[in-house]
Amino acid sequence: MARTVLVTGGNRGIGLAIAQAFAKQGDRVAVTHRGSGVGDGDLFGVQCDITDAAAVDAAFTAVEAELGPVEVLVANAGITDDTLLMRMSEEQFSSVVDTNLTGAFRCAKRAATKMVRARWGRMIFISSVVGLYGSPGQVNYAASKAGLVGVARSITRELGSRNITANVVAPGFIETDMTAALPDERKAEYRKAIPAGRFATPDEVAGVVTWLAGDTAGYVSGAVIPVDGGLGMGH
């Protein structure tokens, strides 16, 4: 059955791969962007900065008018602003949390009303292996990504009886603009630590997300699903 899907930050990277995977299986797919537009004609683009609650509300309203109520929310948009704890400003901490964690909350809250009314919904939060594993220089990012676990599990307890699931996908190292910025020596070190011995492609995250949104995953909720080649095992 075709669903209406909204992927935040779906104009590039992991978000774009997720959006295209849903479109390929016949869903109606909207993506947010921050002014770049969307290069894929199968996707309905809406401009939205998820740090702005009014912009989130307007984006959902636009998607509802064009494609119908959002049945599957993929909260994917995220940023990093790395530096060591002792150098990290409060602004660096709060801006990353405001985007990655509060931004996901804004979208989930806006999506929930319609999902409750429909008595069906899927929320998928794109976290990171770093959320539970920790990472030097990423106190802000790790805190925001760990917070998504509490969000998904609390939504599961609040809305689970309404046929709404909320899950977390925790990618390891995926080849996108975000990891392209890493120095080559750091990448080589990371590859050594990953049991799979390689980074993943965005499509390998997308496959897990489309599965979670489908009918066969209806009894999976509050889960944290790693897509990390074994890097975070045990966390």
Q: Which residues are catalytic?
A: 141
| CB closer to ligand NDP, 15 vs 121 | 15
Shortest Cβ 78–ligand NDP spacing (Å) = 2
| CB closer to ligand NDP, 120 vs 232 | 232
Q: How many of the other CB atoms lie within 10 Å of CB of 144?
A: 28
Q: What Å distances lie between residue 67 and 2, 164, 202, CA to CA?
A: 11, 20, 25
CA distance 117 to 111: 10
CA distance 69 to 118: 9
Shortest Cβ 3–ligand NDP spacing (Å) = 21
Place of tokens 């209406």: 4
Summarize as ranges the residues that interact with ligand NDP (CB under 6 A): 8-9, 11-15, 32-34, 36, 48-51, 76-79, 99, 103, 126, 128, 171, 173-174, 176-179
Shortest Cβ 184–ligand NDP spacing (Å) = 15
